[in-house]
């Protein structure tokens, strides 16, 4: 049997094994989310159910999580580079937090509903009005002692480089007088970035998920950077510093980290 046929049969077998587990896991998530009630009506939404569910999702998809550095324990604005919808669950599995996501995510089948129930805040892309609403939501949550993560690039990339960080969202950390911490995220394979993981362009959720179900084990590496404590110099300075931290860590996906790592999944 030729190698392409072996590879195809292996993908079919992995999907056959994972799909029933994923279906059950999603159903369990629906039950938990329904029991919690609408996230918009609750003053505080615990991150524990999302963290637990995210770790289970990573195990089903064969994602091994490797993290370096220490996440800030209290209220903080986390900022990360953005590669895929999978980023949310990899980060939540390691660092339980709430998220700010684009408005379109709220309309995704099942995943959007689960994100709403988990307390995700949503932003309308384009213009000052959406950014202003997002800042208000972030400031309120940060002042309540919550941790929130945003993707300041404003879009997903292939993961090889980091795009310019938009400074507007950093205004929330200045107004709430809370720490800011960068999270660098990558999915390495054979000295480069895994080609299947990036969710870019006109990709759609379900076809992308189907491709991931057929992949052998994936690795997600997260590196937590310096904790920038208030008073902050400016939102532009925060954006530049955190973008530089993440950009400095991304190149050379095959190099071994000299820092101690914790592996789960």
User: 58-104, pLDDT tens digit by residue?
Assistant: 999 999 999 999 999 999 999 999 999 999 999 999 999 988 877 77
**How much of the chain is helix, strand and coil, in % rounded to 5?**
45, 20, 35
Query: Any idea where the domains of the chain sit in the sequence?
Result: 3-264
Among 96, 143, 148, 157, CA closest to 123: 148
Say if residue 161's pLDDT is above 50.
yes
DSSP 27-65: HHHHHHHHHH--GGG-S---SHHHHHHHHHHHHHHTEEE
In this predicted model, what pLDDT tens digit does every residue of 9-27 receive, in sequence order?
999 999 999 999 999 999 9
- Where is 262: in which H helix or E strand? strand 262-264
pLDDT number for residue 155: 87
pTM, whole model, 2 decimals?
0.85
In this predicted model, what pLDDT tens digit does every residue of 93-144 receive, in sequence order?
999 998 887 777 777 777 777 777 777 777 776 555 556 777 888 898 899 8
Say if residue 41's pLDDT is above 60.
no
In this predicted model, what pLDDT tens digit does every residue of 167-206 receive, in sequence order?
998 999 999 999 999 999 999 988 788 999 999 888 888 8
Share of the chain above pLDDT 90, in %: 53
Cis peptide before 166 (omega within 30 of 0): no
Cα-Cα-Cα-Cα dihedral sign, residues 158, 182, 154, 241:
negative
């Amino acid at each position: 049997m030729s190698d392409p046929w072996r590879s195809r049969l292996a993908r079919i077998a992995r999907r056959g094994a994972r799909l029933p587990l994923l279906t059950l896991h999603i159903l369990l998530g629906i039950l938990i989310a329904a029991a919690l009630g609408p996230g918009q009506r609750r003053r505080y939404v615990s991150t524990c159910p999302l963290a637990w569910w995210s770790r289970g999702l990573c195990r089903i998809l064969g994602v091994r999580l490797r993290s370096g550095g220490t996440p800030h324990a209290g209220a903080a604005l986390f900022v990360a580079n953005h590669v895929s919808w999978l980023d949310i669950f990899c980060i939540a599995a390691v660092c339980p937090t709430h998220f700010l996501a684009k408005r379109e995510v709220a309309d995704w089948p099942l995943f959007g509903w689960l994100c709403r129930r988990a307390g995700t805040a949503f932003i309308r892309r384009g213009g000052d009005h959406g950014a202003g609403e997002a800042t208000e939501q972030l400031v309120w949550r940060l002042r309540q002692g919550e941790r929130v993560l945003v993707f300041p690039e404003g879009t997903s990339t292939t993961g090889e480089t980091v795009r310019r960080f938009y400074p507007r969202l950093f205004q929330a950390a200045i107004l709430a007088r809370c720490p800011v911490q960068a999270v660098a995220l990558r999915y390495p394979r054979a000295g480069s970035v895994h080609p299947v993981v990036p969710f870019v362009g006109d990709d759609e959720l379900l076809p992308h998920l189907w491709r991931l179900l057929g992949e052998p084990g994936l690795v997600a590496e997260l590196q937590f950077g310096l904790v920038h404590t208030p008073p902050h110099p400016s939102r532009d300075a925060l954006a530049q510093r955190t973008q530089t931290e993440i950009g400095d860590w991304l190149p050379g996906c095959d190099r071994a980290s000299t820092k101690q790592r914790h592996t789960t999944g």
